[in-house]
Amino acid sequence: MRILICCLGALLYPFKSNSQKVADDFNTLFAFEVHTIDDFFERFNFKQNTAFLNFLAKNYQGNDLSRSRLIQYLFNYKNDSINSDDILPFLSQVLEEDCPEFLNYKDADWYAELRCKVYYKKKSQNLTLILKVEQSKRKYFRWSVVSAKADFLNISRTKDDSLRYLWDPPYRKIDTTFSSKYFLSPVSHALDFMDLDKIFFNNNHVSEYVYNGPQSSSLLKFVDQVKRSEITFVQVNSVKYHLLQIDNWIMVVEYFFRDEKNSGWLINKLVKATREQKENYLTTSLNIPVMTVSFQQQ
């Protein structure tokens, strides 16, 4: 972890401004904060002509604005559990000159974890929904529910019960062109999934908000309970992202609000993982059947 702190210190403080001092005022802290997951992707990819890079170029002229330094800054430096021995090989891989790796909204293997407050049969409960980006045959995109977890969704399972399909009524999904008006916007993440209540409001069409493929039994039960109006949505309490599209690595990105430059959407977990370990992570941690996993970049 000391390596990470030193790297972050090198990024945050030795920048020499073109004025006597750039104070950590509201404007500076606002510029450094990683405001959205899209902003996180842009900084990770070192996308040019962004507001943040323009701010650094204007206020810290003559400094090394490299992709390596920006990725280092995307780690939550206050998390002592991040293994510093993993950071340098991770950077070496994604910055490989001949084959650098980047993040993209259209990637198949990244997931949003939404922890929600709901009422189940008029009793306050916690519900976790896992969403992923789904692409239609016409190349349209949307967010779809791929997993649901809650105490009231726990059911006994047989050996094969965790890999059921949505082929039988009333769950069968016929339209894969996304022509329906019942869907979660592809930019829902920009507003912390404020439109999630549509799933519960349009309860007769709940299956249209669900990922088109194999589903766990708990998700099937969730769909059935929403159809029966047994679940009332209250709010999304928190959001975090599981990024598995980088070969051999799992990143968990969470939001940290604090009056410091190292704030916003930051890497709070970095784990080296093989394909098999990623599959196990999805099935055990996110309750996602492995048959929905592509890892197409691997």
Residue 196's pLDDT band (cuts 50, 70, 90): very high
What mean pLDDT value characterizes the chain?
Answer: 85
Shared-domain flag, residues 100 and 133? no
Q: How far is CA 80 from CA 24, 88, 251, in A?
A: 25, 16, 15
Shared-domain flag, residues 137 and 207? yes
State the pLDDT at residue 295: 59
pTM of this structure:
0.86
> Do the beta carbons of residue 25 and residue 33 sit within 8 Å?
no
For residue 272, what are its two tokens? 């080296």
Q: How far apart are CA 44 and CA 75, in angstroms?
A: 11
State the pLDDT at residue 185: 94
**Does 119 fall in a domain?**
yes
**Does 298 fall in a domain?**
no
Among left, alpha and beta (phi > 0; psi -120 to 50; other), residue 112 is beta
Shared-domain flag, residues 81 and 164? no
List, as one string, the DSSP characters of 182-233: -SB-TTGGGGTTGGGHHHHHTGGGGGGGB-SS-B-HHHHHHHHHHHTT-EEE
Shared-domain flag, residues 208 and 273? no
State the pLDDT at residue 15: 47
- Structural domain that includes position 258: 2-104+244-292
Q: How far apart are CA 212 and CA 136, in angstroms?
A: 10
Shared-domain flag, residues 134 and 232? yes
Q: How far apart are CA 36 and CA 50, in angstroms?
A: 13
Shared-domain flag, residues 222 and 259? no
Q: How far apart are CA 96 and CA 90, in angstroms?
A: 10
Count of residues making up the chain: 298
Number of domains making up the chain: 2
Shared-domain flag, residues 116 and 97? no
Question: Residue 196 phi/psi, 5° resolution?
Answer: -60, -25
State the pLDDT at residue 140: 87
Q: How far apart are CA 113 and CA 192, in angstroms?
A: 11
**Does 297 fall in a domain?**
no
More confident call, 258 vs 154: 258
Shared-domain flag, residues 259 and 202? no
pLDDT of 114 over the 60 cut: yes
List, as one string, the DSSP characters of 98-150: SS-----TT-SSEEEEEEEEEEETTEEEEEEEEEEEEE-TTS-EEEEEEEEE-
Residue 212's pLDDT band (cuts 50, 70, 90): confident
Beta bridge partners of 119: 124, 232
